[in-house]
C-alpha cells in the first residue's frame, strides 16, 4: 500500500486519467493516502522529544507501528505468517525480524553482542516517509546541527532508516541554520593593479617597496641575546626580495641598510 505512495499521487493528478474507468478505485485510494499524509503532517516531534523517542515510549512505538503498516504491509504480513520475504522486497538485505511488540526490526549477526536489544535491532523506518523525516530533524536539532555522518550514526543507535544518508542529507539541506552556517562569506572585488606593478620591461628592483618586520631575538655571544628587526626590499614587478637585519627602527639604521641595498 505505502510503496505506491509517491507515484499514485502524481499519476492520478494527470488530466489523461480524468473520468476513465481505471481511475475510480485509485481516487478513493488517493483520498486515503491524502488523509494519511495530513495525519503525519499534524504530528509534531521536536528536539525535546528525543529522550522519549530514544526509549521508544508507547506513543512513539504506536507511530512506528503505524508507519511500518503503511509502507511495509507485505513484509509484515509475510513475517507474521512465518514466511520468508519476497525476493523483490527492499528490506531483504536487512534481514528484518518481527519483534514481540509487533515492530519490524533490523536483523543481523550481532545477537551475542553485549548491547541493549533496541540498539541491536532498531526499528526499521523508510527514509522517504514524513515520520522518518521528523525523527531526523528532531535528532538534528537535539544534537545542535551536527554533520551528516555523526547524525546518521547517532540515529542508527535507535532507528534504522532505509536510504538514511540520503534522508539525513535532505534534512540538513533544508535546515535554515545549517544553510546559514554553510554560506560562503562575500568577497571584496580587488581593484586594478597600479602601473608600477606591471612595468615588465624594467630591470629588477627598478621599482622597489620596503617594509620592516619583527623584532626577533638573536644571539650576540654566549648567553647574550638582543632584539633585531628584519628589513625587506621587494621588487614590485618580479617580487624578488632582499633581506637585511637592522638593530632598531631609527632613521640612521634604515639609511645604513638602504645604502647597503643600493650599493649591491
Ligand atoms: Zn541544521
How close is the Cα of 137 to the center of ligand 1, in Å? 8
Tell me if 193 is assigned to some domain. Answer: no
Residues whose CB is less than 8 angstroms from the CB of residue 108 and which lie 6 or more positions away in sequence, other chains included: 95, 120, 121
Ion ligand 1: residue ranges with CB closer than 5 A: 145, 175, 177-178
Indicate if 142 and 247 belong to the same structural domain: no
- Give the whole-angstrom CA distance, residue 57 versus residue 127: 21
- What is the SS3 assignment for 46? coil
Indicate if 131 and 108 belong to the same structural domain: yes
Indicate if 24 and 86 belong to the same structural domain: no
Residue 38: per-residue pLDDT: 75
Indicate if 125 and 57 belong to the same structural domain: yes
Tell me if 192 is assigned to some domain. Answer: no
Count: domains in the chain: 3
How close is the Cα of 177 to the center of ligand 1, in Å? 5
**DSSP H or E stretch at residue 221:** strand 208-221
Cell numbers describing residue 42 = 499534524
How close is the Cα of 181 to the center of ligand 1, in Å? 9
Indicate if 30 and 46 belong to the same structural domain: no
Pairing of strands 224-235, 241-246: antiparallel
For residues 101, 57, 125 and 38, what is the CA-based torsion angle, rounded to 10 degrees? 110
pLDDT in tens, the chain (264 residues): 444 344 333 344 444 444 444 444 455 545 555 667 778 888 899 999 999 999 989 889 999 999 999 999 999 999 999 888 888 888 889 999 999 989 999 998 888 889 888 889 999 999 999 999 999 999 999 999 999 999 999 999 999 999 999 999 999 999 999 999 999 989 999 999 999 899 888 899 999 999 999 999 988 888 899 999 999 999 999 999 999 999 999 999 999 999 999 998
How close is the Cα of 53 to the center of ligand 1, in Å? 19
- What is the SS3 assignment for 146? coil
How close is the Cα of 173 to the center of ligand 1, in Å? 8
Residue 20: per-residue pLDDT: 43
Is the Cβ–Cβ distance between 79 and 104 less than 8 Å? yes
Indicate if 19 and 60 belong to the same structural domain: no
**C-alpha distance from residue 201 to each of 3, 192, 194 (Å):** 73, 19, 15
Indicate if 20 and 104 belong to the same structural domain: no
Indicate if 13 and 45 belong to the same structural domain: no
Tell me if 198 is assigned to some domain. Answer: no
Tell me if 115 is assigned to some domain. Answer: yes
Indicate if 62 and 19 belong to the same structural domain: no
How close is the Cα of 264 to the center of ligand 1, in Å? 61
- Domain of residue 21: give its range: 2-35
Tell me if 199 is assigned to some domain. Answer: no
How close is the Cα of 144 to the center of ligand 1, in Å? 7
How close is the Cα of 52 to the center of ligand 1, in Å? 21
Residue 200: per-residue pLDDT: 86
pTM of the full structure: 0.62
- Cell 505512495 found at: 5
Tell me if 212 is assigned to some domain. Answer: yes
Tell me if 88 is assigned to some domain. Answer: yes
How close is the Cα of 8 to the center of ligand 1, in Å? 31
Indicate if 43 and 29 belong to the same structural domain: no
Indicate if 94 and 212 belong to the same structural domain: no
> Which of 140, 169, 134 has the alpha carbon at shortest distance from 154?
140
How close is the Cα of 139 to the center of ligand 1, in Å? 10
Indicate if 48 and 108 belong to the same structural domain: yes
How close is the Cα of 146 to the center of ligand 1, in Å? 7
Is the Cβ–Cβ distance between 75 and 67 less than 8 Å? no
Tell me if 101 is assigned to some domain. Answer: yes
Amino acid at each position: 500500500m505505502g510503496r505506491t505512495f509517491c507515484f499514485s499521487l502524481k499519476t492520478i493528478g494527470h488530466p489523461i486519467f480524468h473520468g476513465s474507468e481505471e481511475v475510480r478505485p485509485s481516487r478513493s485510494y488517493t483520498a486515503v493516502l491524502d488523509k494519511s499524509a495530513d495525519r503525519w503532517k499534524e504530528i509534531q516531534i521536536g528536539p525535546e522529544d528525543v529522550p522519549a523517542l530514544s526509549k521508544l515510549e508507547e506513543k512513539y512505538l504506536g507511530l512506528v507501528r503505524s508507519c511500518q503498516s503503511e509502507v511495509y504491509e507485505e513484509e509484515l504480513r509475510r513475517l507474521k505468517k512465518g514466511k520468508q520475504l519476497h525476493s523483490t522486497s527492499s528490506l531483504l538485505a536487512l534481514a528484518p525480524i518481527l519483534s514481540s511488540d509487533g515492530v519490524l526490526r533490523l536483523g543481523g549477526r550481532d545477537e551475542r553482542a553485549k548491547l541493549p536489544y533496541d540498539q541491536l535491532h532498531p526499528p526499521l523506518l523508510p527514509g522517504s516517509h514524513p515520520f522518518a523525516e521528523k525523527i531526523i530533524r528532531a535528532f538534528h536539532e537535539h544534537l545542535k546541527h551536527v554533520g551528516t555522518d555523526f547524525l546518521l550514526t547517532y540515529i542508527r543507535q535507535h532507528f534504522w532508516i532505509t536510504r538514511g544518508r540520503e534522508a539525513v542529507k535532505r534534512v540538513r539541506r533544508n535546515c535554515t541554520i545549517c544553510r546559514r552556517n554553510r554560506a560562503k562569506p562575500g568577497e571584496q572585488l580587488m581593484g586594478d593593479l597600479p602601473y608600477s606593478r606591471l612595468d615588465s620591461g624594467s630591470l629588477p628592483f627598478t621599482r622597489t617597496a620596503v617594509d620592516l618586520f619583527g623584532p626577533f631575538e638573536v644571539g650576540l655571544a654566549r648567553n647574550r641575546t638582543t632584539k633585531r628587526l628584519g628589513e625587506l626590499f621587494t621588487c614590485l614587478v618580479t617580487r624578488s626580495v632582499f633581506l637585511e637585519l637592522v638593530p632598531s627602527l631609527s632613521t640612521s639604521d634604515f639609511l645604513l641598510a638602504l645604502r647597503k641595498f643600493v650599493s649591491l
